[in-house]
Each structure stands twice: as C-alpha cells, then as structure tokens.
Amino acid sequence: MSFEAELLWAEKYRPRSLKEMIDQQDIINRLTRFAEEKNMPHLLFAGSPGTGKTTAAHALAHDLYGDAYMQFMLELNASDERKIDTIRDKVKEFARSRTPPGIQFKIILLDEADNMTSDAQHALRRLMELHSGSTRFILTANYPSKIIDPIQSRCAFFRFTTIRREDIINRLKFIAENENVEYDEEALDIIYEVSEGDMRKAINVLQASAYLGKINAEVVFRVVGMARPKDVKDMIEASLKGNFIEAREILRKVMIEYGLSGEDVVKQIHRELMGSDIKISDEIRVLIADYLGEIHYRILQGGDEDIQLSAFFAWLSMIGRKVGV
C-alpha cells in the first residue's frame, strides 16, 4: 500500500453528509429534516460504540453549514474533559460567543457525555437553558442512563442500533476495492463477527489485516488476537470426551501461537459454548457456563491463568465422563 494509505481508513471513509451514511435509516431521515429546515432541538445520541453517533453529528453539521462547518461547531470529548471547569470555561465561552450573520445557531458536540461528572452535567443543564437561542447541544453516550434526567428531558432522543451484517460487509468490500486490497469472503465474515456491529472496529481490523497482504481468515485471527473457533471447539470436545491432556495441548498451542491471555480464552470458550453445535444437553451447558464464570472471576482477581484454565478442563473432563458425552 502507498504512504497515503497510512491514514486511518475509519476516518478516510467516514461519511461527510447524512446522505452518505448507511443503515440507521429512520435516524437519518429525521436528521435530514432538521438540516432541511435549518433548525433542530438539543440532541442525545445513544447506542453502542461504532454505530455512527459522532459521524451523524458531523454529517448533520456539514449539511447545515457546508464544508466549513467546523467554524460553527465546538467538539469536546467529555471522557477526557469531563470536569466542571471544562463546562464553565470552554463550553460557556463558545456558547456566549456571537453567532455569525446568516447562522441561526452554533453547535456544541459533547462526545461520550455519559462520562461527565454529576457537577459538570448540572452546570451543562444551566447552559442549555441560558443559550438555547443561539446554541444547540449534541450529546453522545454509550450509556444514556448516566445522563441526568434534566438533560435528557431537554434533548430529542435518538437510539443507534448495531449496524447490520450486510451493511458492514458491503462497506468493507467498498474500502478494500478502493484500496486495491485482495480479500477472501470468509475473512470479511470473520471481521464482522469479531466487530459485533461496530463499524469503526471492523474497518480498523480490515486495515490492520491489509498490511499483512491478502486478507484471509488466518490473517484476521492473528490481527485480532483470537484463536480459530475450530481450535476452541476441539478443546471443549476433547475435554468432554475425557481427553484432558489433548485439551491442554491444544490450549497451550493456541495461547502461544495467537498470543492469547487467559481472559481471551475464557471469552472464546463462552462464545463457542453458546453459539456452536457442540452436542450437549442444556443442563450440562448451564453447568459449564456457571463454572466458566467462576474461572473468569478468578483470573480477573489475579489467579494464575494456566492453573485456572487447567482446572476448568479437568473439571470438564470429569463432567464428560460422568454423563457419558
């Protein structure tokens, strides 16, 4: 790839206007109406990471003001600047500044506003009251319940859902073809699975994989630090058949080859246990999930990963022998 490709693709291919956005069609239609009317209320965008909240705010501002929209918008990441001093200084100063001729209102974008302290949120509420004539606020939050009720009641609420599989994969294909990157269809499916509906994560994984050449399943697993689902499934099935030593050998191979931590292995076991076609009864599945949760807790509390995972597979072997899996 050329030097220009060093630019993060998630930013390079970020939609610049509402009409370029994918999925979230109901939200796009409502925001487009605000842009056409050149007016809008305060807005609260909520949803999982990578679903388009910040992008929608920028696209709306672009459609309101044109290419020079950043002159009329103040963007702050509230997780970094979360204290009351930020609200009293930067936000208040921008909100009080004179609105340019021909511009009905300015926009203040507070990204990750759910990380703001309670005092900062109460100060923000007051500013929203005082300067609503000349300033509109757009707040984004992963957890809207952390936003105080007085702010929520002053905002129009927009719930962003995870992006659909076909939209993510089509976007990945579009980027790969524009960057002249070879890829396998299977690899794009895997990227979707590991991104869990997060478009930004999916694009970043695609770019990281592209640096290693043609994007295939093996490359993607190495980039994201995950083992092949088949290897994880083989570990579980070997243990259930009473083959503890075989399961341990696969575990060590996987942890060394892919550089996985104990927590990573636990999460992948849980994913395979809940989503694969491992032939066990629901009762056994529940027992395994319960004990796996205990192992996860022990690892998070500082327990030795090797000992804890060995204990899990030993327990699984005994369960398998008892029930005759």
- Domain assignment present for 13: no
Q: What is the CATH number of the domain that holds 265?
A: 1.20.272.10
Q: What pLDDT shows up at residue 80?
A: 62
pLDDT of residue 4: 44
Q: How many domains does the chain have?
A: 3
Q: 35 and 153: one domain?
A: yes
Give the residue from 106, 135, 160 where a domain finishes: 160
Dihedral, CA atoms, 8, 9, 11, 12, nearest 10 degrees?
A: 110
**Residue 170: domain span:** 165-224
Q: From residue 212, how far is each of 114, 149, 181, 195, 258 by CA, in Å?
A: 37, 48, 10, 19, 15
Mind listing the pLDDT tens digit of every residue in the chain (325 residues)? 443 445 688 888 889 999 999 888 899 999 999 999 999 999 999 999 989 999 999 999 999 999 999 999 998 886 665 566 667 778 888 888 888 888 889 999 999 899 888 888 888 888 888 888 889 999 999 999 999 999 999 999 999 998 999 999 999 999 999 999 999 999 999 999 888 889 999 999 999 999 888 999 889 988 888 888 888 999 999 999 989 999 999 999 888 888 888 998 999 999 888 876 778 888 888 999 999 999 999 999 999 999 999 999 999 999 888 776 5
Distance CA(203)–CA(51), nearest Å, equals 12
Mark whether 62 and 156 lie in a shared domain.
Answer: yes
